Amino acid sequence: MVSGSNLERLLAEGKFVVCGEMSPPQGADKGPILKKCDYFRGVVDAVNLTDNQTAIVRMSSVMSSVFLREGGLEPIMQMTCRDRNRLAQQSEVLSAAAAGVKSGDVITGVDGETVADPHDLARRIAALGPKKTVKLSIIRNGSPMTLDVTLGTMPADKTASAETRNSDDNGGSSALAKLGLTLRAAHGQDGVVVAEVDPDGAAADKGLKQGDVILEVAGKPVNRPSEVVAAIDAAKSDGKKSVLVRVKSNDGERYLTLPARAS
């Protein structure tokens, strides 16, 4: 989906971009936003508007984005889904598009039934099987619409990946769930990708984030979620309370420890 934003254009051209971040005011006065625009103008390519930062009620990121555009800057509208139901999320996307904030397609339903989250969407699509035609409800450029889509067959390597997403066996899935982790195999690179992290789980406490790639556990390379589980189980059997994990992220590689007892 092409949004047409300046930030998207710069990234597509391979340019180095600089983004800033702005906290919306704790009130209805747009003055502070316009004042801060003077600080950012000519320095950054886009500005991220945080969404009720630190759990304090602030002006919405939607309206803050509108005022940021009024100040001559391109907004990156942040939306925290934890504190909103699906209607509220869709409403804000529509409002943002109406105000000129660019966004991509948002899938809201399959065959007339609302999808709760990406996992729900994946389950519904998988249950239908290949070569079936379904109606996808989406929001595109701020407008709700329905598309007829014929489902394809997942390539063999993708199928293998899906089968290794925390589900090599029930025990592996349970063990990783106790750490607050959902993992999947990485394609075209070594390691196992962190697909999801429970913010209240042990893995999050240790610093693991969505998108991180686990390269080694207890000094052994891993390429499947089951290998991560096996290494943690081995450490637990040896009486160890924790296991050393080598992780790669956008900031480089680092080491952290995960509790073996939690598994």
> How would you write the pLDDT of the chain (263 residues) with one tens digit per residue?
456 678 888 888 888 999 999 998 888 888 899 999 999 999 999 999 988 877 777 888 888 998 998 899 999 988 776 666 766 666 666 666 665 555 456 778 888 888 776 667 766 776 776 777 888 887 766 678 887 877 755 444 444 444 445 544 444 556 788 888 899 888 778 899 998 888 888 888 888 988 899 999 988 899 989 899 999 888 888 888 888 999 998 878 888 889 887 54
Q: At what angle do helices 225-237 and 170-179 cross, to 10 degrees?
A: 80
Tell me where in the chain the CATH 2.30.42.10 domain(s) lie. 107-150, 157-259
Which pLDDT score, from 0 to 100, does residue 161 have? 45
Around Cβ 119, how many Cβ atoms within 10 Å?
A: 13
Give how far Cα 20 sits from Cα of 39, 73, 74, Å.
10, 11, 10
Q: Are strands 75-77 and 46-49 parallel, antiparallel or unpaired?
A: parallel
Which pLDDT score, from 0 to 100, does residue 117 have? 66
Q: Which amino acid is at 102?
A: K
7: left (phi over 0), alpha (psi -120 to 50) or beta: alpha
Quick one: which of 169, 173, 195 has its CA closest to 184? 195
Residue 243 DSSP class? E
Query: Which CATH class name applies to 107-150?
Result: mainly beta
157-259: CATH topology is: Pdz3 Domain (2.30.42)
Q: What is the pTM of this model?
A: 0.39
Query: Residue 86: in which H helix or E strand, if any?
Result: helix 86-98
